[in-house]
Amino acid sequence: MRSLFLTSPRIRSKARFVAASIALATTAPSISLAQTNPLWTQEKIRNYLPHMTVPEVQDLLTRTDMVIIPVAALEQHGLHLPIGTDYLNGVEQAKLIAQQVDVLVAPILLPGQSPYHMGFEGTITLPSTLVQEVYVEAVKSLLAHGFKRFLILNAHGGNRAITTFIVDRINQETAGIAVDLGAVAGPFRDRGRMASIPLPDGTMLDRHGGTPETSSSLYLMPTLVDLEAARPATITLTPELEAMLPDVLAGDPTALTVFLAEGLKDEATGKGTSSIEMSSTGVWGSRDPREATVERGRISTEVFVDAAVAFIDRWNELRPYRP
Ligand SMILES: [Zn+2]
């Protein structure tokens, strides 16, 4: 029944008509914005599921079966970035992609796996098994409505293994086909453009909440960055991490792998590497976050968005959508 409905041109055009009527209704002069919620500042975003009506979802299904699902986190991001940084940045990137190519953007969860940030107020962490279960169940709902291909966009380093597992579970256990969007966009990244990003001088530890993430946030959600509040963190690494830091900063990939295997872990593991044990502000880096720039955030965002769009085009070429 469902596929008959979706493939009937008559009903599809009716759906478009309904969508157009809704658009007209929302701009009708009878609604005075002065009399509505004074906090409401959102504009309707195309292909963004929370803003869409049923006819609009039906209409999108005539053009694509792809969904971007950001995998997010709600965790401390130092003195200057909001708790929702990873959620917001992931969703904003996905929305930008969906303005260039037809794909549904479906945020599911705000929190993710962040036990190593629990020393700072506001962090919410969920068990990894629960997080992946929620995303896989959400995918089953979308599959029931005709969506088939899933681009899982990880927006938080602590969700990397969870993201890999979600992708594999969708592919192994459901009719859906999933990829890790960060990974598949890799070959399409404009490396020349990435290299053109003006970086601060000198090599320093500059990770969670540092200048790369602050720059992206300045571009993607400027009103939520309190750059004035930022200051350089005092970093206290364990002697083992301290000893390997020079090799990490010199770009040794093996040193980085073992550094990250041990660093930023739940305080309960006894490793001494949770964020509150290593950082005075919550930022995992010695560089002043105030060295971040909008320009750096703009270029890195555009490179990723363009690469994601190029991947989606290529996937549609390799496997054309037939509604
Ligand atoms: Zn983050």
What CATH number does residue 72 fall under?
A: 3.40.50.10310
**Residue 76 half-sphere exposure, CB side, CA atoms within 13 Å?**
21
Name the β-bridge partners of 279: 235
- CA 91 to each of CA 66, 69, 137, 254: distance values in angstroms, whole numbers, following the listed order: 16, 8, 19, 32
Q: From ligand 1's centre to the CA of 191, what distance in Å? A: 23
Q: From ligand 1's centre to the CA of 285, what distance in Å? A: 13
Residue 289 resides in a domain? no
Q: From ligand 1's centre to the CA of 73, what distance in Å? A: 8
**Residue 76 confidence (pLDDT):** 98
Residue 208 resides in a domain? no
Q: From ligand 1's centre to the CA of 208, what distance in Å? A: 6
The tokens for 309 are 């769009």
CA nearest 44: which of 26, 60, 62? 26
Residue 56 resides in a domain? yes
Q: From ligand 1's centre to the CA of 203, what distance in Å? A: 21
Q: Return d(Cα 143, Cα 38) in angstroms, integer.
A: 37
Taken in order 186, 220, 134, 46, the sign of the CA dihedral is negative
Q: Looking at 20-137, which runs of residues are DSSP E strands?
A: 66-71, 104-105
Residue 178 resides in a domain? yes
304 burial type by CB count under 10 A (0-12 exposed, 13-18 middle, 19+ buried): buried
How many structural domains are present in the chain?
1
Residue 223 resides in a domain? no
Domain range for 86 is: 42-197+300-318
Residue 230 resides in a domain? no
Taking only the tens of pLDDT, the chain with its 323 residues reads 333 333 343 344 444 444 444 454 555 556 787 889 999 999 999 999 999 999 999 999 999 999 999 999 999 999 999 999 999 999 999 999 999 999 999 999 999 999 999 999 999 999 999 999 999 999 999 999 999 999 999 999 999 999 999 999 999 999 999 999 999 999 999 999 999 998 888 899 999 999 999 999 999 999 999 999 999 999 999 999 999 999 999 999 999 999 999 999 999 999 999 999 999 999 999 999 999 999 999 999 999 999 999 999 999 999 999 98
Residue 243 resides in a domain? no
Q: From ligand 1's centre to the CA of 37, what distance in Å? A: 30
Q: From ligand 1's centre to the CA of 144, what distance in Å? A: 32
Residue 153 resides in a domain? yes
